[in-house]
Structure 1
């Protein structure tokens, strides 16, 4: 029997789905709340515990840097501990998001990232900030340069590979679904380089989904992804198989809610991998697998891991639930 999808939470009104970019990291959620009240020592302790787990460090600093008061409290921390590499990294992350929002210049944010990079030469996180900045305000060359610097410090960096896939997908927005587009080559190369057991196996699916997003936004494809040939193409089938095989292998052959499986504990951004996979399975017609994945994601299910114009998120979730339960598309 197909398991029921999870209950979806709504916030700020019944048509808006609650989603926390902390992705269920309880320690991060607590530190973020403390930082909003000026208790930067809680962030210092969190980052000390995180150490050189570069994926977790990047995820945590990005989420902390997005906070409205992060820049001000990072500055206070730097005044108290001017040699702190963690304070510099938080300040750089906050500057990136302020620059993306037009609240400070990209040049000043870039300099803060470079200062943090000079203070901790082995840390890929300041370069991750530069990649985020380059995607929002920079050039293609700046994107590639920042990505190469991240990968040189951590070859399997999850967030950086996702960002670079999105950057490439956003190039050539009006050329239609070119099967030789550079984003597909990049994603397949990166997944192959990462090797067995890496969550980067999901990258070819991310490339497919993000390219669809760009083409839909440009009007080259219909905005609603439901039941389109795009999702049953040979490329889509191959990408889904690679991603789903990774998930099955990770969970010892089960598509359900298994634990770490053969490859250990949860990746800090695992929920994003599973959102791509769940929606990919749903749109390709495999509603049983989609339902199991939605159950595994639970409250961390997004509207979709990508965005469309003129798309009702409540309707999208209702449709996914109903198809998964065999009730049709009402």
Structure 2
């Protein structure tokens, strides 16, 4: 399953944090390095091994598509193997990120995604890329259409649900807390549809955090949620409790998707005042914690992460 945002990865020291969207996928890291040197055959082999694990395929293509030289090497691969659906999928992913960065038109990126979609009708990845594009450059209707196509091909697609939650959370900026916002209804519906044991059980908490992020960025809420009624409300408690129950029932801690949801749970627990359970989660996450869910212009997410983690573990705020 997909591990959307990048994790914290401690490099030269405890205060030196770097982000790697590969999220510890060693095969992906190796293929990405090879692609920067033009060795697209290693990406071909990686995607062949990935097969129809749609969550993993989507994650790998998104990470590869963000590479600065990916578009050029994907074109070379397409010239060598014009009928390759994997080459088309890689080119589409690269086109989406180039369009999002303003380096080519969104229309060109959409065409590339549709070409990839026609070559592999069962693959949700071209539609996932269209959802990424729609979030950056498209309309609300385009976001919904792309998400529906993702979900129609893989009902539990993790990255697709997280992206749609972010899209909805970013709509209708208001002057304060809005407990009936559509993002909450969507998250509760998706979690209920997913059933017991699904990682999407954490989606209501994700919605709460993503909506807080939007309101904090707009200045409608303070940048630090600690002590806000918003975080001690029945909605917050219910969301955290449901997500924590999911975590307790979840098996297979080696799964590459797991750190993202544990991060949401840990910060949800911390800001709901459950520091004991938050400490247990921070211990479980270790150095694989993802970016602090609420990140705004005047707040250092790395410092916020260290402060929250140390406080929850009983080390103080330094």
Q: TM-score, normalised by structure 1?
A: 0.90
Q: Deviations over 1:105-147 (max 9, x none)?
A: 0000000000000111110000000000000000000000000
Counterpart contact for 1:231–1:284, Cα < 8 Å: yes
Residue 272 of structure 2 is matched in structure 1 by 284
- SS for the counterpart of 2:178 is coil
* Counterparts of 1:189 and 1:315, CA distance in 2: 34
Residues 1:273 and 1:173: Cα distance change in structure 2 (over 3 Å): same
Residue 216 of structure 1 is matched in structure 2 by 216
* Counterparts of 1:175 and 1:142, CA distance in 2: 26
* Counterparts of 1:299 and 1:74, CA distance in 2: 33
Determine whether 1:275 maps to 2:276: no
Q: Deviations over 1:174-233 (max 9, x none)?
A: 242111110000000000000011000010001000000000011100012233222111
Determine whether 1:19 maps to 2:13: no
Counterpart contact for 1:223–1:309, Cα < 8 Å: no
State the number of aligned residues: 311
Residue 294 of structure 1 is matched in structure 2 by 282
Residue 321 of structure 1 is matched in structure 2 by 309
Counterpart contact for 2:22–2:60, Cα < 8 Å: yes
Residues 1:150 and 1:34: Cα distance change in structure 2 (over 3 Å): same
Q: Deviations over 1:258-278 (max 9, x none)?
A: x44xxxx61x43221121111
Residue 184 of structure 1 is matched in structure 2 by 184
Higher mean alpha-carbon deviation, 212-221 vs 283-292, is at 283-292
- SS for the counterpart of 1:9 is strand
Determine whether 1:114 maps to 2:114: yes
Q: Deviations over 1:27-77 (max 9, x none)?
A: 111111111111111111111111000000000000000011111111111
Residue 292 of structure 2 is matched in structure 1 by 304
* Counterparts of 1:18 and 1:8, CA distance in 2: 5
Residues 1:292 and 1:186: Cα distance change in structure 2 (over 3 Å): same
Residues 1:298 and 1:113: Cα distance change in structure 2 (over 3 Å): same
* Counterparts of 1:282 and 1:210, CA distance in 2: 16
Counterpart contact for 2:295–2:301, Cα < 8 Å: no
Residue 87 of structure 1 is matched in structure 2 by 87
Residue 56 of structure 2 is matched in structure 1 by 56
What residue ranges of structure 1 are gaps of 5+ in the alignment? Answer: 1-6, 252-258
Counterpart contact for 1:272–1:305, Cα < 8 Å: no
Q: How far 1:15 sits from its partner (Å)?
A: 6.3
With CA pairs under 8 Å and 6+ residues apart, which has the higher RCO, 1 or 2?
1
- SS for the counterpart of 1:18 is strand
Counterpart contact for 1:95–1:109, Cα < 8 Å: yes
- SS for the counterpart of 1:172 is coil
* Counterparts of 1:302 and 1:15, CA distance in 2: 15
Q: How far 1:10 sits from its partner (Å)?
A: 5.4
Q: Deviations over 1:142-188 (max 9, x none)?
A: 00000000010000100000000000000011242111110000000
Higher mean alpha-carbon deviation, 291-300 vs 80-89, is at 291-300
Residue 161 of structure 1 is matched in structure 2 by 161
Residue 136 of structure 1 is matched in structure 2 by 136
Q: What RMSD in Å do the two structures reach over aligned CA positions?
A: 1.8
